[in-house]
Amino acid sequence: MAHARNLSVVLLFAVSLMTGWAAAPASAQDYPNKPVTLIVPYPPGGATDAISRIIQEAMSQALGQQVVIENVGGAGGMIAAAKAARAAPDGYTIHIHQVALAAGMTMYKNLSFDAEKDFVTIGLINTATSVWAARADLPPKDVKELVAWMKAPGNNPKIAHAGVGSFGHLAGVLVAQELGVPSTQVPYRGAGPALNDLLAGQVDMSSQSAVQSGPLVKAGKLKGYAIIGRNRFAGLPELPTMGELGYKKLDLDFWHMLLAPAGTPRPIIDKLNAALRHALKDARVARTFADGGMDIFPQSQQTPEAAAALLKSELKLWGDVIKANNITPAQ
């Protein structure tokens, strides 16, 4: 009897294992069989929300299920990231984020998640360049003269930005750090108010979206000195990149990527990555990005591995900047 019972236990154990093995690939094979929620870390109307909506329809077509956007604002995008990190790793909750995710890991204390450990990357979406712009009546004609002006006693340039932890803030801090110049960082409640005061001459300079500031530079309402990004901006082809001028650490791109909770099966990640690639190949999507002054990552860089490598490097870059400059959310 004991032998029979033992045999039954072994058989039941074997059956349960086989059932589990069969269920795992089947769930990935059937994925998705319901809508997929894309958590956006900012309210509607911002750049990250806009990019989510640009790829939403094409990704839905590729997956055969609707991608539903859920906007979760607060704490520089960290509340949304925490929610996404805690979601079930089944592919039905994914997350879009940008430079603020890398910065937030150092800037915000006691976070309930770790960007590298609690997420798996799906793929890279786009980059956007910025212009190092100044009020129209600022005297310097080029970056060399600008550095000299910024270092001159009594000038103490005022650099406007969209808020603590924003890309404009971090870029402004790093520009001042790399140029070796003093500065006063002036925070605003968003990019719009910062740009308005720059146009009014209330502040001296700022890192501004190329697509927004380009026409203003052309019209003489702002002065453009250089591009903050890896590539020149087609709208202002005469402006060199900071990297071309020798400031390699200022080859900065404002990027977006898709992520999923850690533990999401690789077959599901691959399906999501394929859907993202499908969206980025879509002619309407590509045209919308181009019209907005944004570049889609090359196909060779649209892999989960490339996204993971970028996130790792950005975590170190912005972590070092934040520590060196004692940046905190309360600033």
Residue 198 placed within a domain: yes
Residue 11 placed within a domain: no
Q: What pLDDT is attached to residue 165?
A: 86
Residue 261 placed within a domain: yes
- Whether residue 22 is predicted with pLDDT greater than 60 in this model: the reply is no
Residue 318 placed within a domain: yes
**156 shares its domain with 296:** no
Per the structure, the complete domain to which residue 264 belongs is given by 34-125+255-324
The mean per-residue pLDDT over the stretch 23-38 comes to 80
Q: What angle do CA 76, 82, 87 make, to 5 degrees?
A: 145
Residue 281 placed within a domain: yes
The mean per-residue pLDDT over the stretch 3-7 comes to 48
Strands annotated E in the chain: 36-40, 67-71, 93-98, 119-128, 130-135, 158-161, 184-187, 205-209, 222-228, 254-261, 294-296
Q: Look at the chain and report how many structural domains it folds into.
A: 2
Q: What pLDDT is attached to residue 330?
A: 63
**320 shares its domain with 215:** no
Q: What is the pLDDT of residues 132-169, one digit of tens each?
A: 999 999 999 999 999 999 999 999 899 999 888 889 99
**161 shares its domain with 266:** no
Domain end residue (candidates: 224, 250, 276): 250
Q: What is the mean pLDDT of the chain?
A: 90
**135 shares its domain with 203:** yes
In percent, the amount of the chain with pLDDT more than 70 equals 91
**115 shares its domain with 185:** no
**291 shares its domain with 314:** yes
- Give the integer Cα–Cα distance in Å for 83 and 44: 18
Give the DSSP per-residue string, 141-199: SSHHHHHHHHHSTTT--EEEESSTTSHHHHHHHHHHHHHT---EEEE-SSHHHHHHHHH
Residue 20 placed within a domain: no
pTM, to two decimals: 0.83
Residue 331 placed within a domain: no
Q: Which domain CATH number covers 203?
A: 3.40.190.10
The mean per-residue pLDDT over the stretch 259-282 comes to 98
**117 shares its domain with 262:** yes
**58 shares its domain with 120:** yes
Q: What pLDDT is attached to residue 27?
A: 65
Q: What pLDDT is attached to residue 230?
A: 86
**238 shares its domain with 285:** no
Confidence of residue 189 (pLDDT cuts 50, 70, 90): confident
- Whether residue 17 is predicted with pLDDT greater than 80 in this model: the reply is no
Q: What is the pLDDT of residues 205-237, one digit of tens each?
A: 999 988 889 999 999 999 999 999 888 998 899
Domain end residue (candidates: 227, 250, 273): 250
Q: Which domain CATH number covers 68?
A: 3.40.190.150
**197 shares its domain with 144:** yes
Residue 95 placed within a domain: yes
Confidence of residue 190 (pLDDT cuts 50, 70, 90): confident
Confidence of residue 251 (pLDDT cuts 50, 70, 90): confident
Domain end residue (candidates: 215, 250, 285): 250
**139 shares its domain with 98:** no
Confidence of residue 96 (pLDDT cuts 50, 70, 90): very high
**228 shares its domain with 282:** no
Confidence of residue 201 (pLDDT cuts 50, 70, 90): very high
- Give the integer Cα–Cα distance in Å for 256 and 128: 9
Strands annotated E in 203-303: 205-209, 222-228, 254-261, 294-296
